[in-house]
Structure 1
Amino acid sequence: MIVGQEVTAAMRLQDLYYGNIIPCQHDVRKDSDYAKQSLELLKMCDTLEKRLSTDDKKLLNDITDMQGMLSETMAAESYIQGFRDCAELIIDVMFGSSENLK
């Protein structure tokens, strides 16, 4: 039987296995630098949109949507690569060889 912290760890591993953990979808603290910069970006986009024609607004929205998708893809790829790097390090520590040690 799994109890206490082991339950939480097992559930996190299960969530990871089934793809329920998405690295780009974490809550952000409202007072963080990220939240402040995000709000500033939104304000700048709103200011720019007021100056643009309907076609230009659509283009700006398409550009910002694509930038968001690229950022999310890069974050996910970096997350995956981090796991690969960690697994490689663990394998090297467990099974690696050294010229100085038996």
Structure 2
Amino acid sequence: MIVGQEVTTAMKLQDLYYGNVIPCQHDVRKDSDYAKRSIELLELYDALEKRLSADDKKLLNNITDMQGMLSETMAAESYIQGFRDCAELIIDVMFGRSENLK
């Protein structure tokens, strides 16, 4: 391993240890599909919100808050499962056995 890679790996492990790793925090490119769809969603939300009564706006906000919480939960669960799948793959690579080879 190259010395620069060792330093980077040590820094990442240190960040992980101190809780400085936030897996879902990424910058989004302004020209990406995600950014474009986010803008479209906000425009649709604003258009709908203008048509609603105060009680309906509150209901819409509750629905979008719950959808956000569900999305966060699913992202966390997917991250955890991906981490487990990767660990399982590494263990298999390191300690797995072949039926045909020694």
Which TM-score band (shorter chain)?
0.7 to 0.9
Identify unmatched segments of 5+ residues in structure 2.
none
Deviation per CA, 1:47-72: give whole Å up to 9, x if none. Answer: 00000011110111111111111112
Q: Which residue of 2 aligns with 1:35?
A: 35
Q: How far apart in 2 are the matches of 1:98 and 1:7? A: 35
Q: Which residue of 2 aligns with 1:64?
A: 64
Going from structure 1 to structure 2, the CA distance change for 1:15 and 1:100 (only over 3 Å counts) comes to: same
Is residue 87 from structure 1 mapped to residue 87 from structure 2 by the alignment? yes
Counterpart AA for 1:44: L
Q: Which residue of 2 aligns with 1:6?
A: 6
- TM-superposed deviation, 1:7: 2.8
Counterpart AA for 1:56: D
Q: Which residue of 1 aligns with 2:75?
A: 75
Report % sequence identity.
88
Q: How far apart in 1 are the matches of 2:45 and 2:81? A: 32
Q: How far apart in 1 are the matches of 2:22 and 2:73? A: 11
Deviation per CA, 1:10-54: give whole Å up to 9, x if none. Answer: 222222233322222211111111011001000000000000011
Q: How far apart in 1 are the matches of 2:55 and 2:7? A: 53
- Counting matched residue pairs gives 100
Identify unmatched segments of 5+ residues in structure 1.
none
8 Å Cα contact 1:15-1:21 kept in structure 2:
yes
Q: How far apart in 2 are the matches of 1:5 and 1:95? A: 25
Q: Which residue of 1 aligns with 2:98?
A: 98
TM-score by length of structure 1 reads: 0.87
